Amino acid sequence: MNRPIALFFSAVCHPLLLPSYLYYVVCYQLPALVQYPPLPDRWRLVALVVLFTFGLPTLGTALLIWTGAINGTLELRERQQRPLPLLLATVSFGIGAVLLDTATEALDPLLRYMMLGMTLTVLLTLVVSLRWKISAHGAGAGGTVGLFALLCISAPQAVPVLWWLLGSLAMAGAVLKARLTLRAHTPAQAWAGFALGVSLVIGFGAGLALK
């Protein structure tokens, strides 16, 4: 993979963008998986997800760089640059999760659990990053694969879900390869992030199923 393509995959599959993609896919490309909210009202949910998982964390990181609280660019290539932005992302994701969990309108449990699982993934990425540069891209890609794997298990008759799972596996492979091409991570850091995302989402889903 050459550098321009690697940069493309790193940008398009940024971990702060993946939640928005996932909610869009579940709400509009796989609409039968959830009953509430009704299809015409789902744009409000997607907008809220975009705000709390992309807009606010990105703005907060940009302000940290602008004020000099952290040095560098939005790429955050050094481990020491990551704790504050990841903390901001954890708080923002957490607020989004609370808003969905306490929403008075009818909301499918899957849509609530997705945000909670994403928040836990960001939190654990933050904790590990305090001592080691685990790949946030890998964690996001792994969480995406884990979510579609769970959906395949819960709705095996839904053929479109299988195609999304296969697509997520291809995406994850491209993202991991891109991060290695850019030398943003070692293979261990990239695969550890992927394993964290997959195991957390599947383990979280299994725990909910046993409740």
pLDDT in tens, 137-150: 999 999 999 999 98
Give pLDDT, residue 197.
94
User: Mutual orientation of helices 83-101 and 42-50 as an angle, nearest 10°?
Assistant: 160
Give pLDDT, residue 208.
60
Q: Residue 123: which residues within 8 A CB-CB, separation 6 or more?
A: 90, 94
pLDDT of 88 > 90? The answer is: yes
pLDDT digits (tens, 9 = 90+) for 20-53: 999 999 999 998 888 889 988 899 999 999 999 9
Beta-carbon-side half-sphere exposure of residue 52 (alpha carbons within 13 Å): 22
Contact 128, 161 (CB under 8 A): no
How does the average pLDDT of the chain come out, rounded? 89
pLDDT of 4 > 90? The answer is: no
| pTM summary value | 0.91
